[in-house]
């Protein structure tokens, strides 16, 4: 079948290639003319036969909204738009209503697989009507991993359910990554452990903690065993925050995912106001030394050298 694909970055470009390998025609548009197949969104629309299916793979928020608005003006009744980016689930119903008022279908699809998806396939989580999902099933089958459909694809529910499932997926990912990271730090600190990368690699088969994330950490440690010159500054793309917000909204305890999210926030602080307040309080009630910033940095340097 034919597919229009808007957004040909790291994910979108690889998705285009995987779909083409499955024998489908993909017409891609990107603001970077070096990777685009057509010069404009209108050129993409004109190149597709009705009823059209257009997959949007652009950054969440204003960019996605702009593309949805534009497609609503250009597409025709019976066409279908799929939002495969990391949009917040609460944006999906307004998008579906906006397009639906023009007779255009809408499916939200969470996509997992990163830069490895081209070869391994992508995990897909969709929301929308059964009719709209069925229209794009050949594309979903081309993108998902080989094997049983249900092991790489789910029609999770109505509009918004796909991005909601992807949000929770990413929240779980935060917790798993943090657990491996904390294990790494403890192993690295213990003087009797002399092969930290080897310990992680030994967990790759037969253990209950084996996973693809573990394999990726092993690969990272093989490239850089001590993670030399790797900054601890860790960004978040939004899904972890949204997961914790939903947990609060529905009174679902999520101590692990919440802690993992807050650890990312902590990684960005050059100095912690909260810990400054703790130090000041220790000075007030116990007479403990309250160090200057320079004294604290000197102690950090000494600790890094193993002298304290």
Q: Using one digit for the tens of pLDDT, what is the confidence trace for 163-216?
A: 999 999 999 999 999 999 999 999 999 999 999 999 999 999 999 999 999 999
Structure tokens at 30: 């990107």
**Catalytic-labelled residue, pool 166, 239, 295, 305:** 166
**166 classed as catalytic:** yes
pLDDT digits 0-9 by tens, 263-280: 999 888 887 888 788 888
Closest-CA residue to 105 (of 138, 127, 123): 127
Token readout for 52 is: 């059209």
Q: Which of 173, 189, 246, 249 does the annotation list as catalytic?
A: 173
The crossing angle, in degrees rounded to 10, of helices 161-189 and 255-267 is 70
pLDDT of residue 270: 80
Whether 173 is catalytic: yes
Angle between helices 212-223 and 161-189 (to 10 degrees): 50
pLDDT tens digit string along 243-261? 999 999 999 999 999 999 9
Six-digit token string for 70: 């534009």
Task: Tell me what pLDDT residue 306 has.
Answer: 65
pLDDT grade, residue 307 (50/70/90)?
low
- The per-residue pLDDT for 30 is 97
Per-residue model confidence as pLDDT tens digits over 142-177: 999 999 999 999 999 999 999 999 999 999 999 999
**pLDDT tens column, 88-114:** 999 999 999 999 999 999 999 999 998
Q: Domains of the chain by range and CATH?
A: 2-159 (3.40.50.720), 167-267 (1.10.1040.10), 274-305 (no CATH)
């Amino acid at each position: 079948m034919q597919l229009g694909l808007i957004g040909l970055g790291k994910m979108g470009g690889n998705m285009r290639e995987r779909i083409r390998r499955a024998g489908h025609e993909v017409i891609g548009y990107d603001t970077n003319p070096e990777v685009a197949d057509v010069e404009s969104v209108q050129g993409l629309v004109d190149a597709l036969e009705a009823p059209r299916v257009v997959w949007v793979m652009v950054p969440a928020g204003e960019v996605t909204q702009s593309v949805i608005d534009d497609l609503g003006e250009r597409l025709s009744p019976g066409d279908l738009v799929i939002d495969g980016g990391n949009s917040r689930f609460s944006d999906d119903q307004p998008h579906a209503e906006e397009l639906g008022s023009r007779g255009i279908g809408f499916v939200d699809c969470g996509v997992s697989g990163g830069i490895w998806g081209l070869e391994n396939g992508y995990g897909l989580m969709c929301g929308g009507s059964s009719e709209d999902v069925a229209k794009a099933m050949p594309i979903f089958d081309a993108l998902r991993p080989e094997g049983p459909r249900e092991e790489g694809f789910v029609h999770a529910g109505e509009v918004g359910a796909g991005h909601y499932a992807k949000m929770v997926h990413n929240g779980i990912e935060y917790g798993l990554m943090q657990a491996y990271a904390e294990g790494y730090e403890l192993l690295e600190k213990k003087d009797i452990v002399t092969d930290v990368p080897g310990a992680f690699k030994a967990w790759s088969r037969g253990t209950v903690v084996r996973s693809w994330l573990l394999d990726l950490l092993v690969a990272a440690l093989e490239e850089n065993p001590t993670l030399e010159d790797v900054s601890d500054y860790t960004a978040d793309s939004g899904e972890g925050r949204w997961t914790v917000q939903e947990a609060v909204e529905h009174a679902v305890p999520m101590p692990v995912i919440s802690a993992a999210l807050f650890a990312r926030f902590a990684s960005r602080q050059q100095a912690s106001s909260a810990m400054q307040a703790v130090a000041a309080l220790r000075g007030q009630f116990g007479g403990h030394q309250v160090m200057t910033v320079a004294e604290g940095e000197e102690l950090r340097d000494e600790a890094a050298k193993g002298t304290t």
